[in-house]
């Protein structure tokens, strides 16, 4: 039966007895007692003797310099040029679930372009009653929706298929972000153009493309297009950043990020898929026999411990330890997350910070008492369909070693007695 170690550890009240009265959040191992002479609390510090910056010092707020290492990072050898590459969200340094736009991973196929709102146009064409072109201002006049969704690159964790490769959760799992999107339902725009000309919508498709040089065209079944696809122009309450498709992008909840076309310029209604480059030679799953699966759009249930991890080691020594991570599923709601500290011998049900939300990240915690012994940390997600996140071995039995995309395996961190962590593979 799952537990949260509540019957195996002393209370935090006991642990903190005699600690300095530094506030309710002071729970780090090694807390000083009130009798200790700590100048940082007993003496007036420099920052308490001067005036600080005025309210207009940073017209657009930026993180304090002490957090300057919390940035997106690229893997230099991944592609020939950063113009067609990926940078990774620093998920090891974040908490909660909402990703700041400035930290949200980005993927480009021909670089991020600058497109003014005034120059923006969106065409609806093909098997529609009336072909239409919308301006940005037109889109703002339609009824709006707001939803929190994760966007995950199909290649997230893709470099780990053959074994442990990259020593950092930012690089193994950081091709993901989770933001609150505001926009207009694609269904609303398609209905505005009229779909009578398409006849029976069963078996119909749309083809979406961007305004950048790559266009990144993708085919989407009409059933999905009329369900939850969003034409978005805001993220986390502000305009989309340039790198996220300003001024307008597509949001395809639960499906691979390649389909979330940025700088969206055209939606064509068709009676068949286009079979573009991005859905034939790319973004298909090559199996052991050399054949490839296509149309594997949904991102299966997945999770990862973000702390402790190689980029977020344990620095406070023995005592209370908060194990934290993220879980998600492109097929619905994450209902449960299990965590093991011994490589899968014993699993413990983690605490969800909030009930799972459809197609959005879920934060989980496991509060333990760490005795300084090495750990093999893993997490596994369960979603509302009954699906349970698999091990690498289970994935390989089906997919072999030739795949790049859709690796949702259980990740292992070897946490050493000194608190450092390393990417390893044990199952």
- CA gap 293, 229 in Å, rounded: 23
pLDDT of residue 33: 64
Burial of 424 (0-12, 13-18, 19+ CB in 10 A): middle
- Residue 87, classified by CB atoms within 10 Å of its CB into exposed (0-12), middle (13-18) or buried (19+), is buried
> Could you tell me if 283 and 154 are in contact, meaning their C-beta atoms sit under 8 angstroms apart?
yes
Nearest residue to 176 via CA among 323, 51, 319, 361: 361
pLDDT, tens digit only, all 427 positions of the chain: 344 454 445 455 555 443 333 333 334 445 666 667 899 999 999 999 999 999 999 999 999 999 999 999 999 888 888 998 999 999 999 999 999 999 999 999 999 999 999 999 999 999 999 999 999 999 999 999 999 999 999 999 999 999 999 999 999 999 999 999 999 999 999 999 999 999 999 999 999 999 999 999 999 999 999 999 999 999 999 999 999 999 999 999 999 999 999 999 999 999 999 999 999 999 999 999 999 999 999 999 999 999 999 999 999 999 999 999 999 999 999 999 999 999 999 999 999 999 999 999 999 999 999 999 999 999 999 999 999 999 999 999 999 999 899 999 999 999 999 999 999 999 8
302-424, CATH topology level: Immunoglobulin-like (2.60.40)
CA–CA distance, 318 with 419 (Å, rounded to integer): 9
Partner residues linked to 414 by β-bridges: 376, 422
Among the CATH numbers 3.40.50.300, 3.90.420.10, 3.30.390.10, 3.90.1150.10, which is that of 103-293?
A: 3.90.420.10
Long-range pairs, 400-403, Cβ under 8 A, ≥24: 400/286, 400/287, 400/288, 400/289, 401/161, 401/162, 401/288, 402/286, 402/287, 402/288, 402/290, 403/158, 403/161, 403/285, 403/286, 403/287
CA distances to 81, 97, 99 from 104, in Å: 20, 12, 6
3-state secondary structure of 235: strand
Query: 352: which residues sit within 8 A by CB, 6+ positions away?
Result: 334, 336, 337, 362, 363, 364
In this prediction, residue 80 carries a pLDDT of 87
Predicted confidence at residue 25, as pLDDT, reads 38
Contact (Cβ atoms closer than 8 angstroms) between residue 219 and residue 274: yes
> What pLDDT shows up at residue 4?
45
pLDDT value for 427: 87
Cα 200 from Cα 68, distance rounded (Å): 54
Q: Which of 313, 268, 343 lies closest to 92 in space, CA to CA?
A: 313
Phi-psi category of residue 2: left, alpha or beta, with phi > 0 → left and psi -120 to 50 → alpha: beta
Q: What is the pTM of this model?
A: 0.91
Query: Residue 255 carries which DSSP code?
Result: B
- What is each CA distance from 36 to 21, 26, 39, 65, 99, in whole angstroms? 12, 16, 9, 30, 39
* DSSP result, 149-211: EEEE-TTTTGGGTTS---SSHHHHH-SEEEEEEEEEEHHHHHHHH-SGGG-S-TT-EEEEEES
CA–CA distance, 406 with 153 (Å, rounded to integer): 9
What was the pLDDT predicted at 13?
Answer: 53
What is the C-alpha to C-alpha distance for residues 214 and 252, in angstroms, rounded to an integer?
A: 19
The pairing of strands 132-135 and 205-210 is unpaired
d(CA 373, CA 392): 25
Cα(131)–Cα(122) distance, rounded to whole angstroms? 11
pLDDT at 37: 84
Residue 364 near residue 337 (C-beta atoms within 8 A): yes
Q: Do domains 103-293 and 302-424 have the same CATH topology?
A: no
Domains of the chain, residue spans: 103-293, 302-424
């Amino acid at each position: 039966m799952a537990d949260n170690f509540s019957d195996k550890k002393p209370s935090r009240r006991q642990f903190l007895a005699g600690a300095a009265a530094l506030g309710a959040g002071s729970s780090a191992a090694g807390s000083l007692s009130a009798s200790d002479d700590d100048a940082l609390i007993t003496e007036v510090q420099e920052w308490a003797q001067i005036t600080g910056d005025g309210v207009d010092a940073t017209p657009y707020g930026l993180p304090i310099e002490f957090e300057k290492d919390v940035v997106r990072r690229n893997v230099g050898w991944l592609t020939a040029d950063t113009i067609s590459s990926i940078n990774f969200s620093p998920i090891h340094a974040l908490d909660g679930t909402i990703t700041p736009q400035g930290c949200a991973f980005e993927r480009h196929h021909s670089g991020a372009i600058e497109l003014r709102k005034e120059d923006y146009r969106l065409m609806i064409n093909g098997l529609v009653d009336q072909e239409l072109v919308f301006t940005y201002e037109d889109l703002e006049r339609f009824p709006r929706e707001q939803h929190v969704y994760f966007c995950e690159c199909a290649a997230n964790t893709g470099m780990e298929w053959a074994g442990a490769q990259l020593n950092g959760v930012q690089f193994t799992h950081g091709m993901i972000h989770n933001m609150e999107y505001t926009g207009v339902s694609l269904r609303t725009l398609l209905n505005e153009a009229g779909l009578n000309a398409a006849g029976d919508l069963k078996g119909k498709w749309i083809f979406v493309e961007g305004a950048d040089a790559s266009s990144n065209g993708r085919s989407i079944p009409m059933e999905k297009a009329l369900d939850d696809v969003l034409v978005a122009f805001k993220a986390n309450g502000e305009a989309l950043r340039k790198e996220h498709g300003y001024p307008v992008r597509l949001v395809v909840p639960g499906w691979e990020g390649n389909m979330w076309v940025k700088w969206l310029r055209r939606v064509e209604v068709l009676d068949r898929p286009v079979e573009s480059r991005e859905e034939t030679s790319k973004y298909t799953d090559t199996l052991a026999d050399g054949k490839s699966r296509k149309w594997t759009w949904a991102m299966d249930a997945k999770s990862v411990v973000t702390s402790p991890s190689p980029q977020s080691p344990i620095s406070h020594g023995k005592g209370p330890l908060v194990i934290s991570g993220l879980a998600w599923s492109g097929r619905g709601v994450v209902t449960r997350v299990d965590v093991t500290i011994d490589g899968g011998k014993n699993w413990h049900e983690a605490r969800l910070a909030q009930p799972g939300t459809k197609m959005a990240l879920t934060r989980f915690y496991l509060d333990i008492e760490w005795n300084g012994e090495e750990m093999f940390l893993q997490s596994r997600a369960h979603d509302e369909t009954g699906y349970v996140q698999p091990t690498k071995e289970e994935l390989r039995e089906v997919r072999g070693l030739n795949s790049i995309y859709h690796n949702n395996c259980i990740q292992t961190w070897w946490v050493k007695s000194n608190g450092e962590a390393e990417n390893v593979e044990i199952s």
